[in-house]
């Protein structure tokens, strides 16, 4: 039976994936918005949230690649109608990745101050970074557990339950942020930046529990760890290794961007925090269609439906670029009100407004890069993804950033370099995909 790649079916996967995908940036954006409006030291608190969010995003993206690897393998077996052969794989993958997350906590908690000094944080910003991180890091294993379960659902061509989980987590986080950061007079004292951290951890825990519940109740995949390891565990680990290297390259980009912004001063890192988190939000919105590409390409590849795979890629390019333009247009319409959500400091806002238009112009370009990221992950072609990101980071972004910074462009340097970096990521993937599958589509 051929796989449905109609717009209706793509949207059935993409829209829930879009909603579930923005849960993590919403946690960070909520923290930024609430903390950026506290009564005392709002700018320093916002800067600290931005720095810690960058570091946590690095950890989540490095270890959270289990979602793509699990999704790729499960979807390919679904396409081949052989799901029973890998039923025990997700539990084994979750065990491996959550064990690593505990090691990360042990390895970073005592050295939090040293970690954030590497991001050029100092004085009150450094103090807030340490306070915020030493609470929020305990939500890390719950986040990775949830991400891995989401990968299993994606492989099963189901994005509905991850969406439900993400909505509950995001709403809970917003409520807890307001209550714990600002307090309730006579009941709860304001906890400021610590309250934002506690809110995120509680929300992440609840999402993990809901993920376990829905996986056990709504699928045939168990969470009980069993041995021996599944025969696909070696391919899973190889995928993860390639994605680890790729994600380290990705986070080199984010590290340099955050480090340079911090070195310019508090108003710059605060403005950068707003801009980069909005960029993350836009990226995760577009990632809904990238997720559909991930889910469907794996199934099509497993079923050897190569003509449909080409058709799918063409449709996703069109839908993704249109969505990118819509996102940019909405950002342009609400250009100034968006900034006021996150800060009331005129210097921070003016600095943010000076570069926000670059973030908006990037959105259609991001669509191309992210959609083909998703397709290649679904195909299991992690090695090529790794090589492309290494090239775009070390031979494009880093040299360009240093050059533009030397010219005194400051935040302009960061966001111009990010734009060229996105282009360097997307074009090679499009070319390689067509080289691989146009001949196969003609042959079959």
pLDDT number for residue 27: 66
What does the chain come to in residues? 444
CA distance 365 to 376: 17
pLDDT number for residue 172: 92
Q: Tell me if residue 212 falls in helix, strand or coil.
A: helix
Burial (Cβ within 10 Å: 0-12, 13-18, ≥19) of residue 72: buried
pTM (two decimals): 0.77
User: Structure tokens of 14?
Assistant: 């993409």
pLDDT number for residue 2: 64
- Candidates 433, 438, 273, 429; CA nearest to 366 is 429
Alpha-helical regions (H) of 178-232? 192-218
User: What is the distance between the terminal CA atoms of the chain, rounded to a whole angstrom?
Assistant: 16
pLDDT number for residue 1: 52
CB atoms within 10 A of CB 414: 27
CB-based contact 294:370 (threshold 8 Å): no
CB-based contact 374:292 (threshold 8 Å): yes
| pLDDT tens sequence for the chain (444 residues) | 566 777 788 888 888 887 776 666 676 677 777 777 676 677 787 788 878 887 887 777 777 778 888 888 888 888 888 888 988 999 999 888 888 888 889 988 999 889 888 887 888 888 889 989 999 999 989 988 998 999 899 889 898 999 999 889 988 988 998 888 887 777 778 777 888 889 989 999 999 999 999 999 999 898 888 888 889 898 888 988 888 888 888 878 988 998 899 888 888 888 898 888 888 778 777 777 888 888 888 888 888 888 888 988 998 888 888 988 998 999 999 988 888 887 888 888 898 999 999 999 999 998 889 899 889 988 888 899 999 999 999 999 999 999 999 998 989 999 999 999 999 999 999 999 999 888 887 776
CA distance 24 to 203: 10
**Concatenated DSSP letters for 329-398?**
HHHHHTHHHHHHHH---HHHHHHHHHHHHHHHHTHHHHHHHHHHHHHHHHHT-HHHHHHHHHHIIIIIIH
* C-alpha distances out from residue 374 to 112, 117, 177, 233, 237, Å: 33, 34, 32, 21, 18
CB-based contact 338:302 (threshold 8 Å): no
- Three-state secondary structure of 324-342: HHHHHHHHHHCHHHHHHHH
User: Structure tokens of 93?
Assistant: 């993958």
pLDDT number for residue 259: 87
Opening angle at CA 346, ends 342 and 351, nearest 5 = 80
Query: Phi/psi class of residue 408: alpha, beta or left (left: φ > 0; alpha: ψ in -120 to 50)?
Result: left
CA distance 139 to 162: 18
Q: Tell me if residue 228 falls in helix, strand or coil.
A: coil
CA distance 68 to 291: 9
The residue whose two tokens read 């916002």 is 46
CB atoms within 10 A of CB 1: 5
pLDDT number for residue 367: 87
CA distance 75 to 69: 10
CA distance 415 to 362: 9
CB-based contact 294:377 (threshold 8 Å): yes
**Those residues with Cβ within 8 angstroms of residue 339's Cβ, 6 or more apart along the chain or in another chain:** 274, 349, 352, 353, 356
Provide φ and ψ at 184, rounded to 5°.
-125, 120
Beta bridge partners of 184: 188
């Amino acid at each position: 039976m051929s796989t449905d790649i109609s717009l209706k079916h793509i949207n059935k996967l993409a829209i829930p994936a879009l909603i579930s995908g923005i849960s993590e940036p919403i946690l960070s954006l909520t923290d930024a918005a609430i903390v950026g409006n506290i009564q005392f030291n709002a700018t320093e608190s916002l800067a600290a949230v931005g720095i810690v969010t960058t570091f946590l995003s690095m950890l989540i993206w490095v270890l959270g690649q289990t979602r793509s690897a699990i999704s790729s393998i499960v979807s390919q077996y679904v396409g081949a109608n052989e799901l029973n052969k890998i039923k025990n794989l997700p539990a084994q993958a979750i065990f491996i990745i959550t064990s690593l997350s505990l090691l990360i906590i042990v390895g970073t908690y005592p050295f939090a101050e040293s970690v954030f000094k590497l991001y050029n944080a100092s004085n009150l910003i450094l103090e807030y970074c340490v306070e915020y991180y030493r609470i929020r890091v305990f939500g890390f294993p719950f986040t990775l557990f949830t991400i891995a379960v989401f990968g299993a659902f994606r492989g099963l061509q189901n994005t509905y339950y991850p969406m439900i989980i993400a909505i509950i987590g995001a709403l809970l986080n917003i409520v807890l942020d307001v209550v714990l950061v600002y307090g309730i007079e006579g009941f709860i004292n304001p906890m400021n930046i610590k309250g934002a951290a506690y809110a995120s951890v509680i929300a992440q825990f609840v999402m993990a529990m809901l993920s376990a519940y829905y996986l056990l109740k709504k699928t045939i995949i168990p969470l009980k760890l069993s041995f021996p390891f599944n025969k696909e565990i070696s391919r899973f680990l190889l995928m993860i290794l390639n994605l680890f290297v790729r994600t380290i390259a990705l986070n080199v980009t984010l590290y340099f961007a955050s480090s340079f912004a911090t070195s310019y001063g508090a108003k710059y890192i605060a403005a950068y925090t707003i801009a980069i988190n909005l960029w993350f939000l836009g990226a995760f919105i577009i990632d809904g269609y990238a997720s559909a590409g991930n889910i469907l390409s794996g199934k099509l590849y497993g079923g050897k439906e190569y003509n449909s795979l080409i058709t799918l890629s063409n449709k996703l390019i069109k839908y993704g670029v249109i969505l990118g333009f819509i996102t940019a247009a909405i950002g342009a319409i609400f250009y100034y009100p968006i900034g006021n959500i996150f800060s009331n400091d005129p210097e921070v806002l003016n600095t943010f407004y000076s570069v926000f238009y670059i973030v908006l112009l990037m959105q259609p370009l991001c669509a191309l890069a992210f959609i083909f990221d998703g397709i290649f992950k679904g195909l299991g072609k992690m090695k090529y993804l790794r090589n492309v990101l290494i090239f775009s980071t070390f031979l494009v972004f880093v040299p360009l950033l240093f050059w533009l910074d030397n010219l005194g462009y400051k935040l302009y340097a960061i966001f111009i370099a990010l734009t060229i970096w996105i282009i360097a990521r997307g074009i090679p993937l499009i070319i390689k995909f067509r080289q691989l599958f146009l001949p196969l589509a003609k042959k079959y």
